[in-house]
Structure 1
């Protein structure tokens, strides 16, 4: 614990807020918040649920668990309410899984910056595995087998594998064949799959095929999700976990509920009212999800274009709201400005007025010239501007969006004058 520090993305967000409040004109691409106004029907449910001030069941009331089960059933994942636990965000659920399930944790490299610290907090070893060339969010299958073998030789005990679908930080989605291959390895090696699907409803193209590991390896997959990203409710803290059927799944769920009973007791009653409505997916919620995913995709693809034209390699974003450029092709040019790794590259971007999250903070190789851009912060400073962005046929043409993108493009062009 003496080595623990604040999560780097949260620390960066606080620092940027202070500097912006002091008048510094920074564009913030370092924090993965879906910067959209609160959806009015959910605000109504929150107000209506304000009288729900009793604790209630630790796992959540039957109605909200039933709604979440329906959400998964509509996605080809047969689920009963008794397989569901709701919590104040998906982060506590992921931490509870680390505390309830023994064994070290296999992570894609790079990965969301919370996975590894949570594993360490639980006394585990995070084991980073390189991602495939075509996408992020999952370990490369060949490298995974090698890492499992090497970890066991070193006395490690890899038992959990985390997948992120779609991925933070690369903004990409692993293909169904890749998911099937990883599930086969998990079953062979006796691994628990933790599938973080909090960005599932932020796939840009509705026609994209999404395969959850729970469809392929249902007895060894736990799904974590929530409403922070898809419905822009990060500050409301609503998370859901779906556990497998059978003795192992019941044992894991019991362990997570035991942790919950000692840590957060239950999801706040008003938030359960919101979650019940949201996971029931009436037409207004479905329309909002489609509009949000479209906006995220349009803006992410424009930032992708800007990074590529500045000399980076970058996987085209297909989900979530991130791009993860790699400036290795222009390493020699960047060295002239004393940029040799991800920390110095992030500092160079800050000097140009753009805040990014350096790749080494996401477990990436320290000397790599990579960082994460969160494009969901570009929709406007006010709720009115953000709503205009959401409603616009061409959000890139809106002055408040275009001006941000033009500043970003100018800064990237100045990266290597």
Structure 2
């Protein structure tokens, strides 16, 4: 039986509670939480009359724009290597449907990867992430996990990497990525690189790209839902290698796309073509978003650390992955012994919504949760614009009030260290 996506389910739950008048702190859903810049909205409006069906892969204009976008990011690309879809989520599903073999997945990982593997009939080979960062499997454990999987009758064929990572909000170290890709090469694995957060590294530097280490068999997926906060517009794109393997894969992907979504809506392609040319207003907007995400994530990170949790420092996007193991005895006295119980207590007692780590494939007994900070920027477009332009967004009254709400909830649940 297919379950409701955990991230979508908690968003709907928290929205319903908020609509009912409850005081809710929404830390459960990875929506980028920012307004649409006027030039981007105008590009969409100009394309409103484009109401005909188009090519499955996307128009020549949007594919050329995407090829230039990848090339400027040191991944030389031709237009025929690019496919567009209504969100990168659809492309990830299509890739799992098209590529042979079972899925090798770092743990914890975004909730939909394993679910999509199940929908496509693939088994999942879980490999823990390294201590320092998420999104890639621990290189020291990967070889053994592949051997164990084959001994158990599985057929590892696809390695899925998320750089930067959701749920940990970290960026894989280049040396780990290089080693993981070398192992994938030795074992003949295809690599799917989910780079939806690649524009949002807090230090402003590019994230390492798996395609730099295994160009012959790495497919990159991306989109505009995170960097441009256009999640509701559902704009995703994928880049396949420019070799015979990539040509065959593109043919398979087009086959899936033609039967499932036909093509990305033409007005959305026009908006994407504008954004992917990197006009100054777009690059400035993304830079401001990057600063805002970093500032608020750091502030929220500080609250969890002060409450006694262990938590990797945020490096990209708008996620944290606190671990409450150091305060387990204190939580146990409140009948909280798992991540699910922790998430339930935060929500039911304090109106704070987070997702338990087990939703991301973590062990059920762990006291870990995924925290999303991107819906703290304001309730109105005006507040969100002010947050984007602020030198100290955490000090803005509405963001400061959310930090107070979180601090009060954690003070009840955990001892001060």
TM-score by length of 1: 0.98
8 Å CA contact 1:176–1:209 kept in 2: the answer is: no
TM-score by length of 2: 0.98
Q: Specify the alignment match of 1:330 in structure 2.
A: 327
Q: For the residues of structure 1 that align with 2:150 and 2:381, how far apart are their CA atoms?
A: 51
Q: Identify which of 155, 159, 163 aligns with 1:157.
A: 155
- Pairing of 1:123-142 with structure 2 (within 5 A): 123-142=121-140
8 Å CA contact 1:310–1:413 kept in 2: the answer is: yes
Q: Specify the alignment match of 2:237 in structure 1.
A: 240
Q: For the residues of structure 1 that align with 2:269 and 2:207, how far apart are their CA atoms?
A: 27
Q: Specify the alignment match of 1:216 in structure 2.
A: 213
Q: Specify the alignment match of 1:348 in structure 2.
A: 345
For structure 1, list consecutive stretches of 5 or more residues without a partner in the other structure: none
Q: Identify which of 4, 10, 13 aligns with 1:12.
A: 10
Kindly provide the CA deviation profile for residues 124-163 of structure 1, in whole angstroms up to 9, marking residues without a partner as x.
0111110000001110011111110100001101110011
Q: For the residues of structure 1 that align with 2:10 and 2:302, how far apart are their CA atoms?
A: 25
Q: Specify the alignment match of 1:58 in structure 2.
A: 56
- What secondary structure is seen at the aligned counterpart in 1 of 2:404? helix
Q: Specify the alignment match of 1:306 in structure 2.
A: 303
8 Å CA contact 1:100–1:256 kept in 2: the answer is: yes
Q: Specify the alignment match of 1:95 in structure 2.
A: 93
How much does 1:416 deviate? 2.0
Q: Specify the alignment match of 1:85 in structure 2.
A: 83
How much does 1:209 deviate? 5.1
- What secondary structure is seen at the aligned counterpart in 1 of 2:276? helix
Q: For the residues of structure 1 that align with 2:394 and 2:245, how far apart are their CA atoms?
A: 49
Q: For the residues of structure 2 that align with 1:171 and 1:59, how far apart are their CA atoms?
A: 31
For structure 2, list consecutive stretches of 5 or more residues without a partner in the other structure: none
Q: For the residues of structure 2 that align with 1:416 and 1:58, how far apart are their CA atoms?
A: 53
- What secondary structure is seen at the aligned counterpart in 2 of 1:114? helix
The answer to whether the aligner puts 1:385 opposite 2:383 as a matched pair is yes
Q: For the residues of structure 2 that align with 1:39 and 1:414, how far apart are their CA atoms?
A: 40
Q: For the residues of structure 2 that align with 1:262 and 1:209, how far apart are their CA atoms?
A: 35
Q: Identify which of 109, 118, 121 aligns with 1:120.
A: 118
Q: For the residues of structure 2 that align with 1:75 and 1:231, how far apart are their CA atoms?
A: 17
Q: Identify which of 281, 291, 295 aligns with 1:294.
A: 291
What is the CA RMSD across the aligned residues, in angstroms? 0.8
Q: Specify the alignment match of 2:403 in structure 1.
A: 405
Q: Specify the alignment match of 1:369 in structure 2.
A: 367
Q: Specify the alignment match of 2:165 in structure 1.
A: 167
Q: Specify the alignment match of 1:277 in structure 2.
A: 274
8 Å CA contact 2:198–2:206 kept in 1: the answer is: no
- What secondary structure is seen at the aligned counterpart in 1 of 2:403? helix
